[in-house]
């Protein structure tokens, strides 16, 4: 398998997982299905954990973006 096909496979797998997560946590019928299958308490804990992870990732990306901007500004000022 070439690197491009490996990347494409991972991207497709990520899209499938994302679509399933959206259905289960983002739609009312998906939420009902989750509640029926594994119970409300576990769903609520998973949802809170997901929100916490989302905030953490957003903070890290914002930090990384700021660092990249600073590096680019320094590089531009040296040119």
6-53 pLDDT per residue, tens = 888 888 898 898 888 888 777 888 878 777 777 667 777 888 888 998
Model confidence, pTM: 0.44
Domain limits, the chain: 1-38, 39-79
- pLDDT of residue 58 exceeding 80, the answer is yes
Task: Give me the sign of the Cα torsion angle 53, 54, 57, 63.
Answer: negative
Please tell me the predicted confidence (pLDDT) of residue 1: 59
Mean pLDDT in residue range 56-64: 90
Please tell me the predicted confidence (pLDDT) of residue 48: 87
Quote the tokens at residue 61: 């990306």
Please tell me the predicted confidence (pLDDT) of residue 28: 81
């Amino acid at each position: 398998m070439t690197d491009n096909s490996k990347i494409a496979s991972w991207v497709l797998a990520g899209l499938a997982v994302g679509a399933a997560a959206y259905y289960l946590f983002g739609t009312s019928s998906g939420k009902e299905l989750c509640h029926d299958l594994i119970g409300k308490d576990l769903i609520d804990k998973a949802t809170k954990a997901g929100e916490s992870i989302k905030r953490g990732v957003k903070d890290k990306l914002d930090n990384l973006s700021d660092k990249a901007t600073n590096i680019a500004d320094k590089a531009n000022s040296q040119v």
